[in-house]
Structure 1
Amino acid sequence: MRVAVIGAKGIPPKQGGIEHYCAEIYPRMVSQGHTVDLFARTSYTENTGWQSNYYRGVQVISVPGLDYTGVDAFVTSAMGAIAATRQQYDIIHFHALGPALFTCIPRLANSAKIVVTCHGLDWQRAKWGSLSTKVIQLGEQTAVRFAHSMIVVSKALQTYFWQTYQRNTVYIPTAPADYGESDPNFVYGRHLGLETGRYILFLGRLVPEKRPDLLVDAFCRLQPQGWKLVLAGGVSDTKGFTSQLLEKIAHQKNIVFAGELRGSRLWEIVRGAGLFVLPSDLEGLPLSMLEAMREGIPVLGSDIAPHQQLLAEERGILFKAGNLDSCVSALDWALHNPEKLPTMVKKAQKYVSLNYSWDRITSETLRLYTQVLHPCEITDKLQTETTEGDLAKLGAKNR
């Protein structure tokens, strides 16, 4: 198959769940003999317009855009969609609802099959103004209308699209990124003034919907003796919020702002944490939480639907989203009941290993591509298998 990818900023990934997602599944597709072209942003790849390079077999084509917050994504997605119509792709795969606004272009212009993956309801994010929010909502509606198939990364999103549009979607989750080796001596962590197992970690972009401010308030109220709080993450398009947050913690000696971490430093700080907390009001399916669960870190999360999916059945601790008292109570319980955390950790690790695998996600995505390209063949095969199965049952019954 020949596949075009639109909506990712680029690969190799620097930040962002979609970029990490694409960096995992598309090289795997290439290794199985498929061709993948990913239309990226020049602002992310630092290449000139329409220059291309390869990442693990995936051709990354840099699309020129406009250096304005929010506008760059739409311009590059539109230009990518137009460019994709000029090639003979089998599948054109859009990631995120904003870029999906342009699914109509290839759907009307050529015979390629259109697939959209919704990683989250982006129009709910605080960084967007009213106009951008409406445009992203229009992208959602356009995807529902023009996509041959839609993928969602959480069961909550699957429910949303059915209840809102009566649109069937395919649930294919994300998976945690593969961690490499990290410093067993914890040198970088000690440089930050940390002690292994004695700090609470927030990992994610410092944006309002992830609620790092709620966690800061809970930590300051609780003031757990011998513990520190680490905020690790990059700044998005909400610099005012980030500035206020950093000003708030500037004189808190037990709160450490580590900035955006990558590679071995990231792995070291995650593995050294005593608790991982994600107090978000909005998520698709959080990769950082999956990574913490897989690495054996006890996890606390707000009780939004994606977190419930991951932490149910005593795989983690849930507290009421947006509720400071509930967050304080959950933190206090976790810090004073360490003997109960190992059982929770083992359940979480087993759950992640059984349900979230990049090889499995790649296989399921390729299977979906095949179904979209050859719906009649798949239907005939299923009917044949069903008929053969019924005949076998009937023969066994007669015997």
Structure 2
Amino acid sequence: MKIAVIGAKGIPPKQGGIEHYCAEIYPRMVSQGHTVDLFARSSYTENFGWENYDFRGVRVISFPGLDYYYGLDALVTSAMGAIAATGQKYDIIHFHALGPALFTCIPRIANSSKIVVTCHGLDWQRAKWGSLSTRLIQLGEKASVRFSHGMMVVSKSLQTYFLQTYGKETVYIPTAPASYGYSDPNFHYGTNLGLEKGRYILFLGRLVPEKRPDLLVEAFSALNPRGWKLVLAGGVSDTKTFTSQLLEKIARQRNIVFAGELRGSRLWEIVRGAGLFVLPSDLEGLPLSMLEAMREGIPVVGSDIPPHQQLLGEERGTLFKAGNLDSCISVLDWALRYPEKLAPIAKKAQNHVNLNYSWDHITSEILQLYTQVLNSSEISSRLQPENNDMDLAKVGTKK
């Protein structure tokens, strides 16, 4: 198959779940004999516009953008990608995220390529978008429902949302944790940050309002657990006022460490050294950072939003009421007091992720979805998995 990919900023990944997702999926497709072109933003790839390069067999084509205005840059490069893809003879044009899906109408009307959309989350709910951008993303959501031949979602709650809101049948294929490599067993980088292995709480993610690092900071400060520190690891996004206020708040607190955006061995070392991973988000698709912590055997605490319930349910982690400070404090206090009770929970979570979340299986299921849309105009309910978090073998079969 000849495949075009639209909506990712670029690869190799620097930040962002979609970019890590594409970096895992598409080289695997290339290794199986498929051709993949990924349309990217020059502001992310640091290439000049119209240049292309190879990433593990994937041809990455950089478009010039408007990097002084983030939302417009994303829409402009997505539109350019849709137009460019329409002029080529692709079998599949795959749009990632709802904003880029605004332009699914272009190839759907202009050529015979099959259109696939992946919804990684309801992006119009994110605080970084202004009213115009929010409206455009909502239009992209409607366009994805109308013009796609097949639609994927990364969590069961998203599958329910599209069915209840639009009557749209979608295929649930989740993400998987990023592949970790070697990290320093002597914990030198963590020691340089003033950390003790197994004695810090880790928040890993962009410092944005919907991920609620501010709630975690407030809960940790109120609890002030003896001998523990809190580490905030993640990049600064487009909510600069929120971020600056948060960093100002923690600047004078010796037990809270802002590690910034970590990559490679430093990231792996800090994740593996954590005593507790906490994700207090109000909004997620299916969080890669939580999957990574679970896969590494780190005990996990999360807010009780549906994607976290899906991952941490059946005693694979501990949940607190989303947005509720008292609930967060209470759960953190329990987790830090009874580490012996967390160990079997973390082991159960680790086994669950290793068994159910594999990039090789996910790639296989996406290719199966591509084959289905090439042979039919719409994905039918025959493709819907039941009950299990990831019953990949049953996707595409009739119950």
What CA distance in whole angstroms lies between the structure 1 residues aligned with 2:160 and 2:80? 32
Superposed CA offset, 1:349-393 (max 9, x none): 1110111000000000000000000139x99xx9xxxxxxxxxxx
What CA distance in whole angstroms lies between the structure 1 residues aligned with 2:173 and 2:157? 12
What CA distance in whole angstroms lies between the structure 2 residues aligned with 1:85 and 1:49? 19
What CA distance in whole angstroms lies between the structure 1 residues aligned with 2:210 and 2:239? 11
1:275 aligns with 2:276: yes
1:56 aligns with 2:56: yes
What CA distance in whole angstroms lies between the structure 1 residues aligned with 2:66 and 2:229? 41
What CA distance in whole angstroms lies between the structure 1 residues aligned with 2:361 and 2:50? 32
CA shift for structure 1 position 65: 1.2
Find the counterpart in structure 2 of residue 390 from structure 1: none
What CA distance in whole angstroms lies between the structure 1 residues aligned with 2:144 and 2:256? 42
1:241 aligns with 2:227: no
| Mapping of residues 194-273 of structure 1, within 5 Å | 194-273=195-274
| Mapping of residues 1-399 of structure 1, within 5 Å | 1-67=1-67, 68-375=69-376
CA shift for structure 1 position 176: 0.1
Letter in 2 for 1:3: I
Q: Match of 1:301, SS?
A: strand
Which segments of 5 or more consecutive residues in structure 1 lack a partner in the other structure? Answer: 383-399
Superposed CA offset, 1:201-241 (max 9, x none): 00000000000000000000000000000000000110110
What CA distance in whole angstroms lies between the structure 1 residues aligned with 2:177 and 2:312? 15
CA shift for structure 1 position 50: 1.1
What CA distance in whole angstroms lies between the structure 2 residues aligned with 1:371 and 1:135? 29
Task: Find runs of 4+ consecutive structure 1 residues off by over 4 angstroms.
Answer: none
Bigger share in helix: 1
Q: Match of 2:70, SS?
A: coil
Superposed CA offset, 1:94-152 (max 9, x none): 00000000000000000000000000000000000111111100000000000001000
Letter in 2 for 1:35: T
Question: What TM-score do the two structures reach when normalised by structure 1?
Answer: 0.94
Query: Alpha carbon RMSD of aligned pairs, Å?
Result: 1.2
Question: What TM-score do the two structures reach when normalised by structure 2?
Answer: 0.94
CA shift for structure 1 position 39: 0.1
Letter in 2 for 1:121: L
Letter in 2 for 1:55: F
What CA distance in whole angstroms lies between the structure 2 residues aligned with 1:112 and 1:342? 50
Letter in 2 for 1:19: E
What CA distance in whole angstroms lies between the structure 2 residues aligned with 1:239 and 1:375? 46
CA shift for structure 1 position 339: 1.0
Q: Match of 2:285, SS?
A: coil
Letter in 2 for 1:94: F
What CA distance in whole angstroms lies between the structure 2 residues aligned with 1:105 and 1:278? 38
What CA distance in whole angstroms lies between the structure 2 residues aligned with 1:7 and 1:202? 27
CA shift for structure 1 position 342: 1.2
Letter in 1 for 2:360: D
What CA distance in whole angstroms lies between the structure 1 residues aligned with 2:280 and 2:355? 25
Letter in 1 for 2:34: H
Which segments of 5 or more consecutive residues in structure 2 lack a partner in the other structure? Answer: 384-399
* Structure showing greater Rg: 1
Letter in 1 for 2:343: P
Letter in 1 for 2:55: Y
What CA distance in whole angstroms lies between the structure 1 residues aligned with 2:32 and 2:70? 37
CA shift for structure 1 position 69: 2.1
What CA distance in whole angstroms lies between the structure 2 residues aligned with 1:362 and 1:272? 30
Q: Percent identity?
A: 82
Superposed CA offset, 1:321-371 (max 9, x none): 000000000000000111111110111011101110000000000000000
Aligned pair count? Answer: 379
Q: Match of 1:70, SS?
A: helix
What CA distance in whole angstroms lies between the structure 1 residues aligned with 2:70 and 2:267? 27
What CA distance in whole angstroms lies between the structure 2 residues aligned with 1:172 and 1:205? 24
